[in-house]
Copies of this chain bind each other. A is one copy, B any other.
Amino acid sequence: MLGRKPLRDQAYQEILERVHRGDLAPGSRVRDTSLAGQLGISRTPIREALLRLSREGVLAADIGRGFSVCRLDATEMRESGAILSALEVLALQTSPDPTPERLGRLTEIDRGLASIRSDVDRTVGLEEEWHRTLLLGCPNHRLRDMIDNLWQVPRRYIRVYLREAGRVSLSTQHHARIIEAVRRNDRTAAAERLANHWERGIEELGSWLER
């Protein structure tokens, strides 16, 4: 109860980062004891974080034999992607018109994305921030939270894809087309393009995974 945030939340963040960094590799077992030792806290908050991560699809929990990092699997990625796509489209459709300043922020992020050469972390971070910024006005808080949480799954896939397939970014042109529709206040077209953006991204990742 020291840092004003429960230890379980700090543990959650830290473990998640290790998964994303590949420090905890897909398929590898995650022992609460060793994490507790490494983070210098007890097993209890660690286990609470692990339980949460397994509910979110980052870890797998086999009864009696603990936790392991979920292996990357094309089917899972397609499934999560389809869900996230539908939810982001819903969020966009039910959002009020974005402020000009937010539109500016979106193009700014896109400029950032275009100028990156090979920083995977930064690319994924900006891609996610672009989506979050797009949906920042969505009045459905629960939906926004859910989308944020669900992003954890595709984020892992995008990261690996960018790193291993050597791709640099996930098409900023799509972003531009979406922004263009939003700017015209044509939410229907924007939603359609957002869905299309997801569909292409999923297909790109999927076919690479199944290679």
A83 touches B51 (CB 8 A): no
Query: A29 to B83, alpha carbons, bound, how many Å?
Result: 34
Contact partner of A44 among B44, B52, B76, B143, CB < 8 A? B44
Q: A79-B140, A82-B94, A143-B82 are in contact. Are A55 and B57 (CB under 8 A)?
A: no
Docked pose: A172 CA to B63 CA in angstroms: 40
For A55, give its contact among B44, B52, B90 (CB under 8 Å). B52
Tell me the smallest distance from the CB of A211 to a CB of chain B, in Å. 22
Q: A51: which B residues are within 8 A, CB to CB?
A: 8, 48, 51-52
Whether A79 and B1, one on each chain, are in contact in the complex, defined by CB atoms closer than 8 angstroms, is: no
Given A64-B1, A90-B86: A79 in contact with B48 (beta carbons within 8 A): no
Q: How many identical chains are in the complex?
A: 2
For the complex, count residues of A whose C-beta is within 8 A of B.
28
| Secondary structure class of chain A's binding surface, majority of residues | helix
A-B contact pairs, 16 of them (CB 8 A): A8-B51, A47-B48, A48-B51, A51-B51, A52-B52, A76-B142, A79-B141, A82-B94, A83-B87, A83-B140, A83-B143, A83-B146, A86-B86, A86-B87, A86-B90, A87-B87
Min CB–CB distance A75 → chain B (angstroms): 9
Q: Within 8 Å of chain B (Cβ to Cβ): is A6?
A: yes
Distance in angstroms from A67 CB to nearest chain B CB is: 13
Chain B residues lying within 8 Å of A95, measured Cβ to Cβ, are none
